[in-house]
Structure 1
Amino acid sequence: MEENSQNWVDRLWRAFSSMKMGLALLGIVALVAGIGTLIPQTEQDPQKAQAVGQLWQTLGFTHLYSTVWFRLLLGLLCVNLIVCSIQRFGSIYRQTFKLTPPSNLAKVPKKNSRVVNGDIGTLQKSAQEFLTRKGYRVVLDEQSDQWSFIAAKRRLGYWGSFITHLSFVVLVLGALLGSILGFKGYMMEGAGTTTPIQQIELSKGKVSETFSVRINSAEDRFLSNGERDNWYTDMSILENGQEVARKTLSVNHPFEYKGVTFYQASFSNGAHFTVAMNGQKIPVVLREQGQNYFQAPGTDLYLIATSIMPSSSSQKAVALYQVYKGTGADPVQSGQLTLGQTVDVQSTYKLTLDSYAGFTGLQVKKDPGVAVIWLGCALLVGGLLLAFYWQPIVLSGILKSENNKQGTLTVGAFSGKSTSTTLEALEQFVSSVTK
């Protein structure tokens, strides 16, 4: 039983350490992600996503990046990269920190090698002086009949590909972390309103936070020349009814609280009204262009604000309104209100314009994987720089004695991707020793 279990472990290890599997998984992820860029995603365009064929919706291609099977693909790719990295770690560590001089000529690189004859003492001294002067880390092995060495510099270059592979693992973990623990949503609220964070309109994820958001004011400011300055929202964070944070945000100036970031996304004019009906006064807040409506209780009358103009130095705030009955396409009443003005609506209730109220549109996002993704990007850049611009240079050789004074020095260079640099270092070594 234990032997069978061990065989399965070995098979899985060999499978996930395979470069072919890694390339296959990478190709599948790239193909699926490519399809995802062509198919509208629910979180970006819900209407177009609903128009996609039912088969694609069932397979999850309209919400691709949050599907279990896509996360499983990323997880398998992550496991493959981790196994490959673990398998290579030992050899990279030995190449960097456990340099071993060659014990015989067969272990001196043959492809790029040179032979120098001369006085034993002079050759040995010249070789050591050159390697020390050029900044090589040198490991020596002295025996009665031979002297050998291995010298290396830019040893951190060995870690370039390892760090690059590791960066992809970190990037995948960051993406999964943000997808599983984060959320993205939207809220459009008027000045003076308080909204629990859990009631915002979500496009993905789930909100675990319990604080509330109060919109103190929302303004669409203009410069003296008539050009728009920016949209500004003065908002507070409330916990247990107490204000714990407050800030004025605007476009490109978000507000972050406990990992949740609020971005200024849109703005709409609105107004506070009072409806007097059956001896009661009902507060109503409407947005212009009919973005919301008020239905009088017990009736089929629907009130909307078609246009709202805030007060300025030359005029008071003005609201244009329309009243619809049932499913009728044409309004049964329309008109204009200024601040404090009251009108009768279909002999059913009295409508008064109390004050102007700006509505702010905020994108709300939490992504705990952002810091991890930035770390992955930094590792990727560092790994690529090491891999392509910090190639290790390794020289090794054996000096054998022919008699008490004369000897033969055989030296070779390990040639990696940067062959020209390695050959140049070998030639410099031979030239220095020969002199």
Structure 2
Amino acid sequence: MNNDTKKPNILWRSFRSVRLTIVLLILIAIASVLGTFIPQREEALEFAHRLDPDTLRLFHALGLFDMYHSAWFRILVGLLALNLVICSIDRFPGAWRRFSARPRPDRSKVFHDIPEDQRLEVITSSESVLETVRTIIASKYKRVTKKTSPPATFFYAEKGRFSHFGVYIVHLSVLIIIVGALIGSFYGFEAYVNILEGEKVGSAMIRGRMLPVALGFSVRCDDFSVSFYDNGTPKEYRSDLTFFENGKKVKSAVVRVNHPAKFRGIIFYQSSYGTIPGDSAMIRLVRRASKPEVRSVNAGSNKEIPLPHGEGTFVVLEIKDNFMNMGPAVLIKVKPKQGDQIRFWVFQHHERISRQFPGIFDRFPKLNPSAFKPYTFLLEGIESKYYTGLQVSKDPGVPVVWAGFFLIVAGLFITFFTSHRRLWIKVLQQDGKSEISVAGMANKNPVGLEREIHELLGELKASLGERKNA
């Protein structure tokens, strides 16, 4: 026997399976739970230090520290998208047939075995009965058609045909959300940048990979300010930013914690702050003589400053905020009028270091602040500059994801709150009486259809009863 109906291949059958959909959703849900409990990216550093080497290698191989950008997670999402597409293609022809079907109004089979409470008898057989039936149906339903087959007249009406497509709208919206997420995953980035007050940058460092990414414009930190609670905890910190394109100022914005700024699709979040040594240091010169002298000098970096009695000059070559883990220090070069140049480090916490490491300054001339007689150089403090730490994020898929969410709301509303309701009404007129029978079908919510049929019969009874008594 010839069978022209071809069975779909095994790959198609596998991907059209609802079971596959459930399995993929479970796997993605498990992965999402793991991503919640396993720290991701920079947050994973401390967690990774607690793992043994074999477990750490396994986590790195599986990409568990950056799960949502891993190849296997993207494959899972891609398989779910393919599964939704094939399921929709496989089932859509049936939905289209139900949508485009035009049942005959004079179908008789639908009236078989309908309950008695869906029949109504009116003691009149005038044309006004048919007009009343048509008017009431038309007020509730669209696409009312009429066919006369004496002695009966049939009406057919329907509404909610588009409810057959609700599930496909949901499928489409999920696909749009997946596409938006993949666009963000492939073409977006999460980076960070530290900007000194008054400085301008045009790139940021991608988190996790330490690679620079060009912003396409420049951003300058005009000012950074921080306020503290009485216990020293930061209360609020903010950055005043200016954005430039082709060297021209385009926009100014203020960034605070939980109040980001957006420019050209890139969002800047206030993440952290810190200080670095500035360009000057306060140096105290103590001259040992019969009459000691003390003088404080604000020494700029790489600027020659004459010694008080003309013995030569000195210059601050380097400024460190924590040199050799012993606190702030500066490298000083003295140029005497006679003799060789001398270089030595001067620490701010000189006395504390002397107590902690007795004799260190005498044993190491490079650390001796009295290396150039008769002067002793003391560091009173160094200038500090604030820098602002900004998290920089770009996700071009966000508008696509939002479109998908709006569409999924519409699809869920159509799926759960609408139904395709079809109604047949037969008016049999003979012997001076009219017998009205109502039958209906719905693809969902049969209880709602039954209630609607009874409401329709109630309106017909009330309207035709008034006509009879007139």
* TM-score, normalized by the shorter chain, greater than 0.5: yes
Q: How many equivalent residue pairs?
A: 397
2:402 to 355, 366, 374: 374
Aligned to 1:100, the other structure's residue is in SS state coil
Q: Any idea what the Cα deviations from partners look like across 1:152-204, whole Å, max 9, x if unmatched?
A: 34555444333323222222122111111111122233213333314x25237
Q: Any idea what the Cα deviations from partners look like across 1:38-75, whole Å, max 9, x if unmatched?
A: 22222433331454422232112221110112111111
Hey, what does 1:59 align to over in structure 2? 62
The alignment status of 1:428 with 2:433, answered yes or no, reads no
Quote how far apart the aligned CAs of 1:365 are: 0.5
- Is the 1:102–1:396 Cα contact (8 Å) retained in structure 2? no
1:184 to 171, 190, 197: 190
Aligned to 1:104, the other structure's residue is in SS state coil
Aligned to 2:58, the other structure's residue is in SS state helix
**Separation of aligned partners in 1, 2:384 and 2:110:** 86
Change (3 A) 1:380 1:402: same
Aligned counterparts, 1:230-249, within 5 A? 230-249=236-255
Hey, what does 1:39 align to over in structure 2? 38
- Stretch of structure 1 that moved more, 176-185 or 279-288: 279-288
**Separation of aligned partners in 2, 1:366 and 1:251:** 18
**Separation of aligned partners in 2, 1:26 and 1:109:** 44
1:73 to 55, 65, 76: 76
Aligned to 2:198, the other structure's residue is in SS state coil
Aligned counterparts, 1:1-20, within 5 A? 11-20=10-19
**Separation of aligned partners in 2, 1:331 and 1:139:** 106
Change (3 A) 1:331 1:8: farther
**Separation of aligned partners in 1, 2:138 and 2:93:** 27
Amino acid of the residue matched to residue 107 of structure 2?
Answer: N
Quote how far apart the aligned CAs of 1:126 are: 3.3
**Separation of aligned partners in 2, 1:329 and 1:86:** 79
Structure 1 gap ranges (5+): 1-5, 305-319, 334-342
Aligned to 2:386, the other structure's residue is in SS state strand
- Is the 2:156–2:423 Cα contact (8 Å) retained in structure 1? yes
**Separation of aligned partners in 1, 2:16 and 2:173:** 17
Aligned counterparts, 1:35-434, within 5 A? 35-49=34-48, 51-52=50-51, 53=55, 54-92=57-95, 99-102=102-105, 104-106=107-109, 114-116=118-120, 119=125, 121=127, 124-133=130-139, 135-145=140-150, 147-198=153-204, 200-203=205-208, 207-221=213-227, 230-274=236-280, 275-276=301-302, 282=317, 355-388=383-416, 390-392=417-419, 394-397=421-424, 399=426, 409-434=436-461
Change (3 A) 1:25 1:228: closer
Amino acid of the residue matched to residue 245 of structure 1?
Answer: K
Aligned to 1:197, the other structure's residue is in SS state strand
Change (3 A) 1:44 1:93: farther
**Separation of aligned partners in 2, 1:20 and 1:242:** 58
**Separation of aligned partners in 2, 1:323 and 1:277:** 27
- Is the 2:110–2:439 Cα contact (8 Å) retained in structure 1? no
Amino acid of the residue matched to residue 68 of structure 2?
Answer: Y
**Separation of aligned partners in 2, 1:193 and 1:255:** 18
Aligned to 1:203, the other structure's residue is in SS state coil
Change (3 A) 1:379 1:350: farther
Change (3 A) 1:8 1:65: farther
Quote how far apart the aligned CAs of 1:125 are: 2.8
Q: Any idea what the Cα deviations from partners look like across 1:311-367, whole Å, max 9, x if unmatched?
A: xxxxxxxxx678999xx999979xxxxxxxxx9868599979674422211111111
Superposition RMSD in Å: 4.7
Identity of aligned residues (%): 25
Larger radius of gyration: 2
TM-score computed with the length of structure 1 as normaliser = 0.73
Q: Any idea what the Cα deviations from partners look like across 1:355-394, whole Å, max 9, x if unmatched?
A: 4422211111111111122222222223333333x32261
TM-score computed with the length of structure 2 as normaliser = 0.68
- Stretch of structure 1 that moved more, 164-173 or 414-423: 414-423
Structure 2 gap ranges (5+): 281-300, 305-313, 333-343, 362-366, 465-470
